[in-house]
Amino acid sequence: MKIALIGPAYPLRGGNALFVAHLYEALSAHHSVDVVSFSRLYPSILFPGVRQNDISSSPLKKHPARPLLDSVNPLTWFSAANDVTSKRPDVVIFTWWNPFFGPLVRTVAAMIKRAGIPVIIVAENVISHEGRAIDLILTKLALNTADAFLVLSKVVEETVKKLYPNVPLFRSSLPVYDCYQSGDVAPQSVAQERLKLAGKNVILFFGYIREYKGLMNLIEAFPQVKKEIPNAHLLIVGEFYKNPKEYYDAIDRLNMKDDVTIVAEYVANEEVYKYFTASNVVVLPYNEATQSGIMSISQSFGVPAIVTNVGGLGELLEDGKTGFIVEPRNVRVLADSIIRYFKEGREKEFSAEVIKRSQANSFNTILEVFNNIFAALKLK
């Protein structure tokens, strides 16, 4: 079957491009897949980060992609749609994550549907985490074109079902990203020595730093953790999407400067393993979420997690088996869960269970879901 997959791809960076790369690999094992990507994803005025392109020396998953779309040039939307339809794919798959792309997806998908080609939308979320009043309008503009949906969490499933009760809806979970393993991966003790954290109980916060991710809650909880776990160390790795001053000020105010390491940058693919292999636990103190690529990465390294019970985060681990699930926006509860994790010595037990479960959650699983979607749309 011929499939067109439309979404951001390398050399664009981030979780969406990583998802497209993994999905291409899974689908192309059985189908012919054409990836249509972006020459420009966001105009610089709307992008809060340092750069949009990946700084890694090479992509984690090499695949062909054609950068036909410019998010702010509608002429490219029409030409890309014409290009896709001229190749007569059996189905077109869009990845969806941000209302900003509503007009683009609507334009391209509507042209594709007029050519008699069905459209599947993979919805990471419905309304962005830092949404505005117009976001629902822009989202509906795009999602109205779907002949079928694939969602990756229960919270998104419920929202899509409410908006589109008559459109076929399928659900999977975000598979494990097992692509960051390196030949240089070392035991935890060696990895900690390399980061000058030898002998520490390392608590990792990883990924873009945005307000909804609740990093400030973790910083506020950390002094309580230090009282009970003297060798605890907080490792914060990620690019700030706003002025980081308030975070640095909070660390100074709490007298935690010597106990917190901040790597304020987007990490190249080949450097990611350093931080996960050195960590004893990953903490996702999010105030809201759908699912998390960070969880998928941590699971691939067998690192247990402590997450807040928001969106689909709780679906990604089993409380008391592979980590702990805690109430969001509650500094005391968050601190208590971290303290409990170390005092009860749960790392080895949880890690073994994480590894076992991650082996069953590969992109082959999501491929099975796509085969069900293809059958529902009567595609061969």
What is the spatial distance between Cα 283 and Cα 271, in angstroms, rounded to a whole number? 19
Domain ranges (residues) in the chain: 2-175+362-376, 188-358
pTM: 0.84
φ, ψ (nearest 5 deg) of residue 353: -70, -35
Which residues lie across from 284 on neighbouring strands?
Answer: 307
Q: Which fold has domain 188-358?
A: Rossmann fold (3.40.50)
What string of pLDDT tens digits covers the 380 residues of the chain?
A: 999 999 999 888 777 888 898 899 889 999 999 999 999 987 765 555 555 566 666 666 788 999 999 999 999 999 999 999 999 999 999 999 889 999 999 999 999 999 999 999 999 888 765 557 788 889 999 999 999 999 988 888 999 999 999 999 999 877 677 666 665 677 899 999 999 999 999 999 999 898 989 999 999 999 999 999 999 999 999 999 888 999 999 999 999 999 999 999 888 888 889 999 999 999 999 998 767 788 888 988 999 999 999 887 888 788 999 999 999 999 999 999 999 999 999 999 999 999 887 766 666 678 889 999 999 999 86
Exposed, middle or buried: residue 368 (CB in 10 Å: 0-12, 13-18, 19+)? exposed
Q: For residue 28, what are the contacts with CB-CB under 8 A and spacing of at least 6?
A: 63
Superfamily of domain 2-175+362-376: Glycogen Phosphorylase B; (3.40.50.2000)
Max CA pair span of the chain: 65
Do domains 2-175+362-376 and 188-358 share one topology? The answer is yes
CA-wise closest residue to 177 among 17, 35, 289, 368: 17
